Structure 1
Amino acid sequence: MGSSRRRFRGAGRTFQLRINSVPESQHCSNWGAYCTYQSMETKEDEYMKPLVQLLKSGGFWFDFSGHKHAMALKWCNIARNVIAFSVWAYQMAYFMGGVSYLLTEAGVFVPICFDEGAVAVIVLCNQSTIRETIRIYRKRFEVFGSTPWAKNIIDSEMNKFNRIFQLPKLMLSVFFLFYSVVPLVYDAVLAYSGKSPYVVPLPLNFLLETPTQRTPAFYMTIYLSYLYFMIIVPRFIAFEALMMYIVAFVVIDVKILVQKMKNLSEKDDGSLFLQEEWNLKDVIDHHSTVVRVVEEHFWLVGLAMMVQNLTFSISSCLVIYLTKTSFNNGDIVLALFCGNFVVLLMILNLMFNGAGVLIENQGEMVLTAIYDTEWYKQPPKVRKEINAMLRQGLHVLKISYWSNTVNFETAMVVLNRAYSFFTLINTGE
């Protein structure tokens, strides 16, 4: 049968659609072909869309192609990062004036802001690595999605990770909302009663006069501090999403690989004799890709986690110390905020380091899946290939940067350091 080519332009690019010569009533119109193309593109991007949207809202993504205000949104994200880094630099410059600033109420934000700023620098300086990781898994999920059982695994695991991610996202958002609104309402009540102003620790509190008075400078300092929060909280949530989704992609990849290993034994007749020879090319390529992605792209996760584990120890220590001093001074509102923030830091610490354990477990799952197959019933050629996979599998999948491995042992070290620093500060008093 003859065929014809039609050229369409859509989504910023030109593509060709080959249509076989069939009755005119069965021909697809230009608009119908465009809609089909768009639906296919949406289907392959549906798993990446939540991550990309969070990166955009956090200021880590500057490509708004297709949006009518693309250039404005791009420069908005650039401006947000410039403001955040300017406030961070100003605060760090003040901190250089003396380490004793750490023990003040505003000093607690030094390690917190350093953590967020350093992580933001890591993410912004490695945009190519992030985009490449997203591109790899967009392509892989597109291929896997054509197999019903693989698509079920992807849907199930992505739904699970989406639910898990909602916990830290909700906790951070609610904490920021209450930390912003409650002190302002409380101060408004005090102002109506003619009492002194009330302000919780903020990154720019060192700019306030002593004693504190309700002046334009007072409100401008609070406004800039809350503006800074409005930038770094979505940015930190975007970083959380990046770490969680990258881990989720590898977990899904491994689960599909394990199922492929199980499918190899479907034709086993249950006897002890040699079975039909397996075609291991797809399985071997899949396994090699998983190992390569972790080795080449997870150093970014390991570096960010190393910075977080270092700063979480200091942050937790200072927040615990601030909880104690505020409670002793009768500031119950601040003590409650600090207590909740300590719990939030511990949950984030366990969640991030738990991701490292999850990745290590995937390596063990692959080895177990290989051992559980009836590989000993295969011809020598196949057994040799299986042994090669086992040797490669001995290289355990893990999140690390140099010798700094992310796991629960690291999480316990972080908590132990926080307690040690807190004890040291109390001893110094």
Structure 2
Amino acid sequence: MIFKPELSSIVSLMKLASIRNDKSDKPIIRFLIMFRHIFEVVLTIGTAISCYVAGWKNNIGLVMFYSIIGTIACVQSIYFLYNYETGKLIFHDLKMLMKIQELDRTQDMLHNETDFTWKWIQMYSFNLIAFMILYSSSPILVEFILFILKIEVAPFLPPLPLNGFIVGTERHTILYFCVCFASIYWSVSGMLAAIGNQSVPAIYLSYHSLGITVLLEKMKKLKRKIDLRSMHFRDTVDEKVAVRELIHLIQEHKLLLRLTHNINLYCGFPLAVQNIMISGCVCLLAYAFLTEINTDISAMLVNAFCLVLMFLIAGIPCILGQRVETLSYQLCDGLYDLPWYKQSPHLRKYLNMALRQANKGMKIHYHGRSPLNHNTLINILNTSYSYFMVLQSSL
């Protein structure tokens, strides 16, 4: 297991996502962090230039995969860096919520809501690291070792992020190996950041949906209690118990609404940018895959791998966001199903308060744009298909 499937792992993933360790007042540390981000942004722009130098059609799929992954990683990492404190607030609120709901949460609930996310994180991390080692780094390292051993071999470099510059540089020179190792550094740094960027929102969303699921179960228990008891009279023992339980539900629901707001602040913009850029990347990878079916089998397989990975990167957050949205609607419906007509005016006041909170809903979005749900996923696929048809007809 690359990461332990528990909430505490989120701290390590947050540091990986924002490319930082802890907040430091030392100017040199802050400078090095920002230099790393700027270096990645420059290399991402360099990839676009490299794409032109190496030949647009020859490397369109893989170069766009690297540039999209790199661009998303850069934008998300810089955003997560400046919103690191918001991420810590989400983590502390989730810890508080899990502690409050510990007695009401079963192992089945925990497994059903979080197991899928942790499996996705492990699979994504393993595949990205394996791709980075076997495809991005190994050929350059092998060629460097063979050069040291003075063994002459034909060039076998794959279309790496800076391959356009590598191709135009004389082999076995200082500049040549500098560009090669800069390419390795860019791919390693970008892909490690990408692991954190994809993992953090997924974990937040899965534990958020777990909190809503536990709250739904508590509300069902309260409904059964109200159905079994007569609460027509104020200040009875039964009514006081019901009021106390309802107040606890309202407090937990407030905490969930605060979590939704902070998750939108922390993840809304990076995921919105990701959805926009993935539309183009899926189109280009699909085009490269189809054009290489009968020409280059190895390039076709790598493009197919990248295409599947891009589908998953686009789909998993939308599926988890849809889960949160659906559960929030179920929560609202459950509150309306409570037999309010049996309650005294005192208890109805708290029910009315809970209903007004529930009507707000819980959606993950960026200022109302690009919400994480099935509709957004369908829009991404439709946009990619439209781009693909335009590209196919024009080239």
TM-score (norm 1): 0.75
Pairwise CA distance, 1:374: 3.5
Which digits, 9 at most, give the CA deviation of each residue in 1:175-222, with x for residues without a partner?
Answer: 32332367569979x999966312222221232244874544433322
Give the structure 2 partner of residue 389 of structure 1.
354
1:221 to 1:324, Cα distance in 2 relative to 1, 3 A:
farther
Q: Distance in 1 between matches of 2:159 and 2:84?
A: 33
Give 1:126's match in structure 2, choosing from 65, 80, 83. Answer: 83
Give 1:149's match in structure 2, choosing from 94, 104, 125. Answer: 104
Give the structure 1 partner of residue 184 of structure 2.
226
Pairwise CA distance, 1:91: 4.1
Q: Is 1:82 matched up with 2:48?
A: no
Q: For 1:11-410, what aligned pairs fall within 5 Å after superposition?
A: 47-58=6-17, 60-63=19-22, 75=29, 79=32, 82-83=35-36, 85-92=38-45, 95=48, 103=57, 105=59, 107-108=63-64, 109-145=66-102, 148-150=103-105, 152=107, 155-156=110-111, 157-159=113-115, 161-180=117-136, 183=139, 196-210=154-168, 213-268=171-226, 270=228, 274=232, 276-277=238-239, 278-279=242-243, 280-327=246-293, 330-404=295-369, 405-410=371-376
Percent identity for Structure 1 against Structure 2: 21
Please tell me the residue identity of whatever aligns with 1:356.
Answer: G
SS of 1:62's equivalent in the other structure is coil
Pairwise CA distance, 1:143: 3.5
Structure 2 runs not aligned, ≥5 long: none
Contact 1:197–1:214 (8 Å) recurs in 2: no
Pairwise CA distance, 1:238: 0.9
Which digits, 9 at most, give the CA deviation of each residue in 1:231-268, with x for residues without a partner?
Answer: 12121111122101211231122122222212324544
Please tell me the residue identity of whatever aligns with 1:149.
Answer: D
Contact 2:43–2:186 (8 Å) recurs in 1: no
Which digits, 9 at most, give the CA deviation of each residue in 1:156-185, with x for residues without a partner?
Answer: 444554234323223322332332367569
Q: Distance in 2 between matches of 1:272 and 1:161?
A: 43
Which structure shows the bigger proportion of residues in strand conformation? Answer: 1
Which digits, 9 at most, give the CA deviation of each residue in 1:378-418, with x for residues without a partner?
Answer: 22332343233223322221011123122121112212222
Contact 2:335–2:355 (8 Å) recurs in 1: yes
1:133 to 1:410, Cα distance in 2 relative to 1, 3 A:
same
- Higher alpha-carbon deviation: 411-420 or 217-226: 217-226
Please tell me the residue identity of whatever aligns with 1:256.
Answer: V
1:142 to 1:78, Cα distance in 2 relative to 1, 3 A:
farther
Q: Distance in 1 between matches of 2:362 and 2:108?
A: 20
1:183 to 1:319, Cα distance in 2 relative to 1, 3 A:
farther
1:221 to 1:331, Cα distance in 2 relative to 1, 3 A:
farther
1:93 to 1:334, Cα distance in 2 relative to 1, 3 A:
closer
Structure 1 runs not aligned, ≥5 long: 1-45, 66-70
Pairwise CA distance, 1:97: 10
SS of 1:363's equivalent in the other structure is helix
Please tell me the residue identity of whatever aligns with 1:366.
Answer: L
Aligned residues: 374
Q: Distance in 2 between matches of 1:104 and 1:223?
A: 22
Q: Distance in 1 between matches of 2:12 and 2:390?
A: 43
Contact 2:364–2:372 (8 Å) recurs in 1: yes
1:163 to 1:131, Cα distance in 2 relative to 1, 3 A:
same
Q: CA RMSD in A?
A: 3.6
Which digits, 9 at most, give the CA deviation of each residue in 1:75-117, with x for residues without a partner?
Answer: 5x97476345314314416747998976562741333322221
Contact 2:105–2:214 (8 Å) recurs in 1: yes
1:359 to 1:184, Cα distance in 2 relative to 1, 3 A:
same
Q: Distance in 1 between matches of 2:21 and 2:218?
A: 38
1:97 to 1:340, Cα distance in 2 relative to 1, 3 A:
closer
Q: Distance in 2 between matches of 1:149 and 1:362?
A: 17
Higher relative contact order (CA 8 A, sep 6+): 2
Contact 2:14–2:196 (8 Å) recurs in 1: yes
SS of 2:206's equivalent in the other structure is helix
Q: Distance in 2 between matches of 1:80 and 1:202?
A: 25
Please tell me the residue identity of whatever aligns with 2:124.
Answer: P
Contact 1:197–1:212 (8 Å) recurs in 2: no
Q: Distance in 1 between matches of 2:172 and 2:314?
A: 38
Q: Is 1:423 matched up with 2:384?
A: no
